[in-house]
Amino acid sequence: DSGVTQTPKHLITATGQRVTLRCSPRSGDLSVYWYQQSLDQGLQFLIQYYNGEERAKGNILERFSAQQFPDLHSELNLSSLELGDSALYFCASSVSRDKTGNTIYFGEGSWLTVV
């Protein structure tokens, strides 16, 4: 158990809908990262937050947005869902934004299936 908690674990929804994925980082971790992993694909970096502020942006679609709240939990919002958005979405956390050697720990992921 990495200490990173993600909900829901599984989600099935229809095209055009909107969903919210939730992440609670490890206790004491200030940085939260979101990754997308499609079937048999690598991990694609979406976005990173540090202590409530956006710090880095990857290949995140405009239909997607995220935020980190004062209690450090984070939410990833996916809207106007398409079939291609079906994937495993991982949240990860680390203690600080950029300390050398700072390990990033992953949650179990949220399986999203768009039908």
Partner 1 sequence: GQNIDQPTEMTATEGAIVQINCTYQTSGFNGLFWYQQHAGEAPTFLSYNVLDGLEEKGRFSSFLSRSKGYSYLLLKELQMKDSASYLCAVRDVGDSSYKLIFGSGTRLLVRP
Beta-carbon count within 10 A of 81 CB: 20
State which residue, 16 or 28, has the beta carbon closest to partner 1. Answer: 28
What strands lie across the sheet with 74-78, from one edge to the other?
A: 5-7, 19-24, 74-78, 64-68
Q: Using CB under 8 A, which of 82, 98, 113, 115 touches partner 1?
A: 98
Question: Does residue 10 bind partner 1 (CB under 8 A)?
Answer: no
- For residue 14, the minimal CB distance to partner 1 (Å) is 23
**Cα–Cα dist 89/103, whole Å:** 19
- Listed ranges 15-23, 52-60, 64-72, 74-82: which one lies at the site for partner 1 (CB under 8 A): 52-60
In the chain, which ranges are continuous DSSP H helix? none
- Cα angle, residue 29 at apex, residues 23 and 33 outer, rounded to 5°: 50
Instruction: Point out which residues bind partner 1 (CB under 8 A).
Output: 2, 33, 35, 41-45, 48, 55-56, 58, 88, 90, 92, 97-98, 100-101, 103-109, 111
